[in-house]
Amino acid sequence: MTPDSTLDHSPRMTPLERRASGSLASIFALRMLGLFLVLPVFALEARHYVGGDDPARIGLAMGIYGLTQGVLQIPFGMASDRWGRKRVIVTGLLVFAAGSVLAALADSLNGLIWGRALQGAGAVSAAVTAMLADLTRDNVRTKAMALIGASIGLMFALSLVLSPLLTSWIGLSGLFTMTALLSLGGVAVVIWGVPHEPQQHKDAGRGGLREVLAHAGLIRLNVGVFVLHAVQLAMWVAIPALLVQAGLPKNEHWQIYLLAVLGSFVLMGGVLFPLERRGYLRAVFLVSIGLIAVVQLALLGVASGTASVTTLGWLLFAFFCGFNVLEATQPSLVSRLAPAHSRGAAIGVYNTLQSLGLFAGGWLGGTLVKNYGVQGLFVTCMTFMVIWLVVAWPMSVPSRKTST
* Model pLDDT for residues 267-303, shown as the tens digit of each residue: 887 877 788 778 888 999 999 999 999 999 999 998 8
Q: For residue 238, name the pLDDT band (cuts at 50, 70, 90).
A: confident
| CATH code of the region 207-394 | 1.20.1250.20
pTM: 0.74
Q: Tell me the C-alpha distance between 380 and 368, whole Å.
A: 8
Q: What is the CATH number of domain 11-206?
A: 1.20.1250.20
Domains 11-206 and 207-394 share a fold: yes
Domain ranges of the chain: 11-206, 207-394
Residues 6+ apart with CB under 8 A from 170: 177, 178
The better pLDDT of the pair 283, 151 is held by 283
* 327, amino acid identity: E
Residue 319 confidence (pLDDT): 94
Task: State the average pLDDT over residues 40-60.
Answer: 79
